[in-house]
Amino acid sequence: MNFDNLSNTDLDHLRTLEKRVTNPGARWADKPGHRQRNLKVASDRYQFELYQRQNLNDESDFSCGLRVIKPDGTSLTLCRYNGSSHAHGDIDYRCHIHKATAEEIAAGRKPEGYADETDRYETLRGATHCIMLDCNITGFNDFEADQPNLFQA
């Protein structure tokens, strides 16, 4: 698989093909300022990694992402579900979902630089719930949907 020649259809296929977590008991690792957990994910043909990161001092500073990994260890982030701790372009301190696009790759920019605002989650657990559904990942149960905020305008 040549990451430079992937079309948007190829990227969508990688995101949505059936995948299963192969190490559901992966433990959190403490890092400077955050904690992180990396889950190995596999399909019939490809290897992936689902990562979760949570800032230790800011609940809204989190990221959950899915990478496809080539046999040589090279990886490409297919999507990343971020918290509301920072602005991204026109998205002002709201949760947002990054997706790799062929256009970003062709322009030599970060493949997952494109992002859309979302109100589907507010926490890392909620973001994990969404990425598991959106990317057709099974075999991991340490997530749940966020409850809707009935007081948010």
Q: What is the pLDDT of residue 101?
A: 96
Determine if the pTM surpasses 0.75: yes
Q: Residue 15 and residue 98: Cα distance in Å, rounded?
A: 12
- Answer whether residue 143 is part of any domain: no
- Answer whether residue 150 is part of any domain: no
CB 98 within 8 A of CB 79: yes
- Answer whether residue 153 is part of any domain: no
Strands 114-117 and 47-55: unpaired
Residue 50: domain span: 3-138
The whole-number average pLDDT for the span 84-97 is 89
* pLDDT of 149 above 90: no
Q: What is the pLDDT confidence band of residue 106, given thresholds at 50, 70 and 90?
A: very high
* pLDDT of 62 above 60: yes
What's the domain count of the chain? 1
Q: What is the pLDDT of residue 152?
A: 52
* pLDDT of 95 above 90: yes
